Amino acid sequence: MTTTFIVIAISLGALVGALLYWLLIITEGTYLGTSAVVLLYDWTAGRYDRIKDLKYVNELAFVALPIAGSLYKVPNPRLLDVATGTGRVPLALLRSMTQEINLVGADRSRGMLDEARMATDDHGEDEVTWICADAMSLPFGDSSFDAVSCLESLEFVVDPRRALREMIRVVKPGGVLWLSNRVGWEARFFPWRLAGRGRLEAVLKELGLLDVETRRWQVHYDLVSARRPREL
């Protein structure tokens, strides 16, 4: 009887441990609600870049250059980075673009925004506006930006389709969305989210976007771009 009890206890412990790993590590609290996601990001903000092991050369090649290339004909372009985190996209663009660009980084986590501000201060940059805002309710007018980016974040948004509609709303006709799509083996652990190769692209087309293009980016992510039509 004692042995059976021990086996049951160990099995339950393993099950609880696996559930917590899924809830807190793999899916970063998204199935516990927005407040849980924000709390986790606030806790990890100071070491987030070390956890992600971000490399400047990779950010330049796979993030900054494709985005900059889509904006080089736009005079004084304006870009919104949704769920900006520690400001990786604005920083990569500031370090690589020769033309003047107006950047706005939005995130729900104030801890992440504090890290982003310090990163730009360290590099002597004051060209980014940091705003605490929800991806599902962006505090900007229609057609406010020439481009909108949202990287490594969409699968953690409670309602990703609503977030996409908001990003489409604030980008100008003819403007470009730059998004990441969660792929790889962990994508299957994101039910009811836009994870898995091809799913995001299909939704973008359903929402009326054009020129949907996928670039292989990381083990866990593809980089997807799409253009808002002149009339939508």
Shared domain for 67 and 134, answered yes or no, is yes
- Can you tell me the mean pLDDT for 203-210? 96
- Can you tell me the mean pLDDT for 177-193? 90
Q: For residue range 98-145, what is the model confidence (pLDDT) as tens digits?
A: 778 899 999 999 999 999 998 887 655 557 899 999 999 999 999 999
Q: Does residue 232 lie within any of the structural domains?
A: no
pLDDT for residue 53 is more than 60: yes
Shared domain for 20 and 87, answered yes or no, is no
pLDDT for residue 19 is more than 70: yes
The full 3-state SS of the chain, as one line of letters, equals CHHHHHHHHHHHHHHHHHHHHHHHHHCCCHHHCHHHHHHHHHHHHHHHHHHHCCCHHHHHHHHHHHHHHHHCCCCCCEEEEECCCCCHHHHHHHHHCCCCCEEEEEECCHHHHHHHHHHHHHCCCCCEEEEECECCECCCCCCCEEEEEECCCHHHCCCHHHHHHHHHHHEEEEEEEEEEEECCHHHHHCCCCCCCCCHHHHHHHHCCCEEEEEEECCCCEEEEEEECCCCC
Q: What is the pLDDT of residue 204?
A: 97
Which is nearest to 71 in space by CA: 29, 101, 49? 101
pLDDT for residue 56 is more than 70: no
Q: What is the pLDDT of residue 31?
A: 86
**Residue 99 sits in a domain of what CATH number?**
3.40.50.150
Shared domain for 3 and 79, answered yes or no, is no
Shared domain for 18 and 57, answered yes or no, is no
Domain count, the chain: 2
Q: Does residue 38 lie within any of the structural domains?
A: no
Provide the domain limits for residue 131.
46-227
Q: Does residue 37 lie within any of the structural domains?
A: no
Shared domain for 11 and 55, answered yes or no, is no
Report the phi/psi class of residue 176: left, alpha or beta, with left for phi > 0 and alpha for psi in -120 to 50.
beta
Q: What is the pLDDT of residue 51?
A: 62
Give me the residue label for tokens 């002149």: 230
Give residue 223's pLDDT band: very low, low, confident or very high (50, 70, 90).
very high
Give residue 77's pLDDT band: very low, low, confident or very high (50, 70, 90).
very high
Supply the mean pLDDT for the chain. Answer: 86
pLDDT for residue 18 is more than 80: no
The pTM is what? 0.88
Q: Does residue 40 lie within any of the structural domains?
A: no
